[in-house]
Amino acid sequence: MSPPLPDGGRRGHRSRLWLLPILFALALLGGFAFFAGLARQVPEAPIRPTDGVAVLTGGPQRVGAGLVLLAEGRARWLIISGVGPSSMLDELSRSAGLPAELLTTPEFAARITLGRAATSTRGNGAEIAEWVARHDMRSVRVVTAAFHMPRALLELRRVLPGVALVPHPVQTAGPRPGLLAREYIKLIGAMLGLSALKPE
């Protein structure tokens, strides 16, 4: 058993405890600054081909980017994950501002999957993982908003450990500070595994 600390030692130890919340706050602020930088990333150039493109819904730019990547031959397969129960492919294309003739060929439309099960980022991961396994893919380009990309990749890597994930961020101008702060909190929760506690 260690000898008891002298009174001065105990007082010194207690006097340093006030540093802990300051260090914690600095770590959070530093992490947020790094995250804010990630929220302004742009897609790689040149764009390398992948087996598939996975779009996590939430904005027309995401759907439009995924459809264009498929039309340009950047991938063989496309999934749009988290689509509403009544949304159809032609409606998604129009809302993204794309020409209707993009979807006129049955062969092109057959390469697109509308995933309707996911209601969360973790749900996106499960839906995309099933699609990847069905088509035996080894690489997937992930399309979502730049500020959402870190959490999306975190959840996808948990269910696709052997698949190469290539980020393709859109909406890179950066969200409002409040939205960015909320997403940062969600990212910390996902890193701690709290997303698994929420229902799909």
**140-191 tens-digit pLDDT:** 999 999 989 999 999 999 999 999 999 999 976 666 777 888 888 888 888 8
On whether residue 2 sits in a domain, the answer given is no
Q: Which residue has the higher pLDDT, 10 or 119?
A: 119
On whether residue 150 sits in a domain, the answer given is yes
Q: Domain residues for 168?
A: 52-195
CATH number reported for the structural domain that contains residue 132 in this entry: 3.40.50.620
pLDDT (average), residues 34-41: 69
Give the pLDDT score at 41.
Answer: 84
Whether residues 23 and 104 share a domain: the answer is no
Q: In percent, how much of the chain has pLDDT > 70?
A: 71
Whether residues 34 and 62 share a domain: the answer is no
Query: Has residue 5 got a pLDDT over 80?
Result: no
Give the pLDDT score at 37.
Answer: 66
Lowest mean pLDDT among 28-37, 68-77, 172-181, 189-198: 28-37
Domain count, the chain: 2
On whether residue 200 sits in a domain, the answer given is no
Query: Has residue 83 got a pLDDT over 70?
Result: yes
Whether residues 163 and 74 share a domain: the answer is yes
Query: Has residue 200 got a pLDDT over 50?
Result: no
Query: Has residue 100 got a pLDDT over 90?
Result: no
Q: Per the confidence metrics, is the pTM higher than 0.85?
A: no
On whether residue 1 sits in a domain, the answer given is no
Query: Considering the chain, what is the average pLDDT of its residues?
Result: 81
pLDDT (average), residues 90-106: 70
Whether residues 19 and 94 share a domain: the answer is no
Whether residues 159 and 78 share a domain: the answer is yes
Whether residues 20 and 111 share a domain: the answer is no
Give the pLDDT score at 61.
Answer: 86
Query: Can you tell me the distance from the alpha carbon of 131 to that of 150, in angstroms, rounded to the nearest whole number?
Result: 21
Whether residues 106 and 33 share a domain: the answer is no
Give the pLDDT score at 172.
Answer: 62
110 in Cβ contact with 135 (< 8 Å): no
pLDDT (average), residues 30-42: 67
Strands 52-56 vs 77-81: parallel, antiparallel or unpaired: parallel
Whether residues 77 and 11 share a domain: the answer is no
Query: Can you tell me the distance from the alpha carbon of 193 to that of 158, in angstroms, rounded to the nearest whole number?
Result: 11
Whether residues 28 and 64 share a domain: the answer is no
Whether residues 28 and 94 share a domain: the answer is no
On whether residue 44 sits in a domain, the answer given is no
Structure tokens at 124: 């996106």
On whether residue 164 sits in a domain, the answer given is yes
